[in-house]
Each structure stands twice: as structure tokens, then as C-alpha cells.
Structure 1
Amino acid sequence: MAKKHRFLKILADRIADNLLRDEIVIADNPEEFREKIYQILYDDYRTEKELEEEAEKIIQENSDEVFYRGVSLHKARKLIKEKLAKERGIPVVGSPLSRDKANYLAGKILKLILTDDTLDYTEERGVIRGIIVKSFEEVSKLRKEIDQRVREKIASHSRPIYEGTPEWYALYNRYYNEELIERGLLEPEEEM
């Protein structure tokens, strides 16, 4: 499982755990509930990736125009992605773990909870949404902690290893997996 997908799984599990633990949501099949949450997250991730790929293709096809107008590639990518999303009726909201994205996806997960016959809930909608958003914040904090720890490990080598080099990426991935295993978020046999 790719690192990004691993974190979607971790996020789905965190959301499910936070909702199921105190029986805020009662699921006939908790594993199926986890999978449904993961699917919502993964579908949104795929949609974002498709928009990014299409925006990149448009930039490549119109690179002379982008260069002529003096627009940075980052800004052009963002503007094109927003236009594509608007044309398709897809909300474009922030980075994967931003507050806006958390609120947007919390709404989708809440809709699942309210409409799925295999799920019941014991709290008001606002409380449930708040727990889901809090789960996003917890996983975002976790990602930052792991990233910082991995960078510290790389920096602690006796000789400098420069970011962006193949060696740096190899160490980053290895230490990242080690951190996930140490925190119980990845089984050793799941390692890539």
C-alpha cells in the first residue's frame, strides 16, 4: 500500500475508532463501516489526483500561453484545477488534511452514518461531525510528528544526506515505515 493510501487507512480507522469507541455510532459490522469510510476518503483522493493530472496535461499543452502570461506553474495548476472542479460540480477544498477538507469529508461521512441502515447513532449530528473533524486533526498532527522524527533521523547521520537525492528518499521511506511500525500503525509484514 502506498504511503498516501496507508494514511487514508489510518485516518479511516481513527475516525471509526473515535465514533465506535463510545458507541456514538453503532455498526452492525464495524469492519464494513471502516471500509465505507476508507472508500469515501479514497474516492475523494482519486478525484483530486484526476483533477491534478488533467490540470498538468492542460498546462503542458498550453505551456507557451502560461509562460507568455507570466503565471507561475503553481498558480496556473491551481486555477485550472479550480476551473475543472467547478465545471464538474466538485468542491475543491484545501490540502488533504486541511480543516476545509476535513469539514467537507466529515459531511460525506455524516451522510453515510445518517443514511446507512447498518448504522445507528446516539449523538447529534454536530457532535458526530466534530468527532470526525477532530480525527482529521489527530492524524494531521501524527503525520507532522512522524515527518519531523524521520527528518531528525536522517539529519543525525555522520555525513550530510541532501534532501531530494535518491539516498535521502530511500532513507526517508525506510525510517517512515519504521516509525509507523513503532507506533503500531503498520504491521511489519505490510512493509513495502
Structure 2
Amino acid sequence: MAKQNKFLKLLADRVANNLLENEYVIADNPEDFKKKIYEILYNDYIAEKELEEEAEKIIQENAEEVTYRGVSIHKARKLIKERLAKEKGISVVGSIFSREKANYLAGKILRLILTDEELDYTQERGVIRSIIVKSFEEVAKLRKEIDKNVREKIASHSRPIYEGTPEWYALYRRYYNEELIERGLIDAESEV
């Protein structure tokens, strides 16, 4: 598998740990359980990225039409993604940390728990599902906190650094990785 997405890995680990530590789920191999959760999240992430790329391509090909109709690019992208998702049978589109997407993915993870022979569960389905959704909320809160800290660091520079500039993006990535390292979410060596 390609390089792992930091927050998908963190989310998969958080979901698994929240379920395993409380013994809501018993796994023959906890690391395999985490990998299976990551796979569910990663596959959804890839499907979402492909939709975005396809929508962007359609917008580029039809830029004059979009402008002529007076539709904002953001609105056009959203409408195109929704249409493409419907055509491809994808039921929920949006950020992985939106409430709707969290519930959708919690359902997929719950199905894994209910059907995988290497997993057993000790709580009702609703309890397990709520723990999964709570895990999504915890990681979303962490992402917002890190983003806020990074933006504050950039804003604290003696001269203004404007968002959208290459310098701003370079600082954002650097400070973001520093935050992840400080919190023990990634190893310093992995970001060299």
C-alpha cells in the first residue's frame, strides 16, 4: 500500500483502540483489525479523491458554460460531485469528518465487526456504532486544534505572511508536521 495518510491512520487506530481497550470488540489480531479499518477509510478517501478529480476535469472542460450560467465554481463542483457519486452508486460524499460521512463509515466498520470471523463483540450494535462515531469526533477535534495552532504560529511572524502564497503553504506544512511530532502522532524520522 502507498504511504499512509496520517489522519486516516490515526483515525483507524483511535477507532480500534476505543473498541478494544473497553473490550467492546475482541480481536484475534488487533493489528489486523486496525489495518482492516484503515482499508475501509482509505478506500473511501480514494473514491472521494477520484470524484473530486473527475469533477475538476469536467469544470475545466466546461468553464465557459459554468461562467455563462453564473454558477460559482464551488457550487458547480458540489453539484457535479453529487451527480457523479449518484452515477457510481456512492451514497455519501463529503469530508471524512462530516457527521453524515462519519455515520456512513461507522456503518461500514460495524459491518466488518459483525461479519469478520476474527472479531467478536460484547456490546449492542448501537453502542459500538456510537463509539466509532465518537472516535471520528475526537480526531476531527484534534485536527481543528492542530490547524488553529499552526495558523497562530504563522500569524505570529513579525511580518505578515498571506494565506495562499507558496511561503504560507510551506510554513503551514512545516508547522503542521512539527505539531504532529510534538503530539507523538508521527515519528520525527518519518518526516525528513
Instruction: Please tell me the TM-score bracket, short chain as reference.
Output: over 0.9
Shift of 1:94: 3.2
Partner of 1:176: 176
The answer for the alignment partner of 1:51 in structure 2 is 51
Letter in structure 1 aligned against 2:129: R
The answer to whether structure 1 residue 62 and structure 2 residue 62 are counterparts is yes
The aligned counterpart of 2:151 is 151
Aligned to 1:133: 133
Residue 42 (structure 2) aligns with:
42
Q: Secondary structure at the match of 1:120?
A: strand
- Partners of 1:181 and 1:27 in 2: how far apart? 29
Separation of aligned partners in 2, 1:137 and 1:165: 31
Percentage identity across aligned positions?
A: 78
SS of the residue 1:117 aligns to: coil
- Looking at structure 1, the residues matched to 28 and 146 of structure 2 have their Cα atoms a distance apart, in angstroms, of 34
State the TM-score, normalizing by the size of structure 1: 0.95
Answer with 158-167 or 6-15: which moved more: 158-167
Is 1:78 the counterpart of 2:78? The answer is yes
Deviations 1:57-77 (A, max 9, x none): 111222222122111111111
* Residue 18 of structure 1 pairs with residue 7 of structure 2: no
Structure 2 Cα separation of the partners of residues 81 and 162 of structure 1: 30
Query: Distance between the aligned counterparts of 1:140 and 1:113, measured in 2?
Result: 23
Whole-angstrom CA distance in 1 between matches of 2:181 and 2:81: 36
CA distance in 2, matches of 1:78, 1:62: 15
Q: Which amino acid aligns with 1:139?
A: V
**Separation of aligned partners in 2, 1:177 and 1:41:** 21
Three-state SS of the structure 2 residue aligned to 1:26 is strand
How many residue pairs match? The answer is 191
- Quick one: distance in 2 between partners of 1:156 and 1:64? 41
> What do the CA deviations read for 1:97-137 (whole angstroms, capped 9, x no partner)?
01111000000000000000011110000000000000000
2:93 and 2:60 map into 1 onto residues whose CA distance is 24
Displacement over 3 Å in runs of 4+? none
Distance, in Å, in 2 between the alignment partners of 1:51 and 1:143 is 23
Distance (whole Å) between structure 2 residues aligned to residue 42 and residue 159 of structure 1: 39
Separation of aligned partners in 2, 1:156 and 1:108: 42
Between stretches 103-112 and 80-89, larger displacement belongs to 80-89
TM-score with structure 2 setting the length: 0.95
Which position in structure 1 is the counterpart of 2:117?
117
Could you list the per-position Cα deviations for residues 38-89 of structure 1 after superposition, in whole angstroms to 9, with x for gaps in the alignment? 0100000000011111111111222222122111111111111111111111
Are the counterparts in 1 of residues 26 and 120 from structure 2 also a CA contact under 8 Å?
A: yes
Structure 1: gaps of 5 or more residues: none
Residue 103 of structure 2 contacts residue 133 of structure 2 at CA under 8 Å; is this kept in 1?
A: yes
Structure 2 unaligned blocks of 5 or more: none
